């Protein structure tokens, strides 16, 4: 969270703020949550696999994650990646849609 917010200008809490901003602008607000459940044998597995292998070492380099934690995580991830019964649930993503009233 610190890496995304501090170094790239992102706001990991924007989903909690945006509904109020849209309400204040006079919009009707719709909220939803999206998540994926994927298995190792699918093409979708590439997304978390690539993300973990590229992002986590960068977090170690920047001091946000201990190297031992990364090593343990990657070992566990590789073991689960070989197990076809594994199911990975992606982080939930808040969907916020603002619409003009009556649309």
Q: Over the stretch 79-96, which tens digit does the pLDDT of each residue have? A: 999 999 999 999 888 999
| pLDDT band (50, 70, 90) for residue 70 | very high
Q: What is the pTM of this model?
A: 0.66
Which whole number is the average pLDDT over 13-19? Answer: 88
Q: What is the pLDDT of residue 73?
A: 97
Q: What is the pLDDT of residue 91?
A: 85
Q: Is the dihedral of CA 50, 93, 37, 75 positive or negative?
A: positive
Alpha-carbon Rg of the chain, whole angstroms? Answer: 18
Q: What is the pLDDT of residue 100?
A: 95
């Amino acid at each position: 969270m610190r890496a995304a917010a501090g170094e790239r200008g992102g706001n990991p809490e924007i989903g909690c703020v945006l509904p109020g901003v849209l309400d204040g602008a006079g919009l009707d607000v719709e909220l939803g949550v999206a998540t994926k459940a994927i298995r190792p044998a699918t093409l979708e597995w590439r997304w978390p696999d690539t993300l973990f292998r590229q992002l986590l070492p960068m977090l170690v380099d920047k001091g946000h994650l201990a190297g031992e934690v990364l090593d343990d995580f990657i070992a566990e991830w590789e073991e689960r990646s070989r197990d076809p019964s594994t199911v990975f649930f992606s982080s939930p993503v808040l969907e916020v849609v603002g619409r003009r009233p009556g649309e």
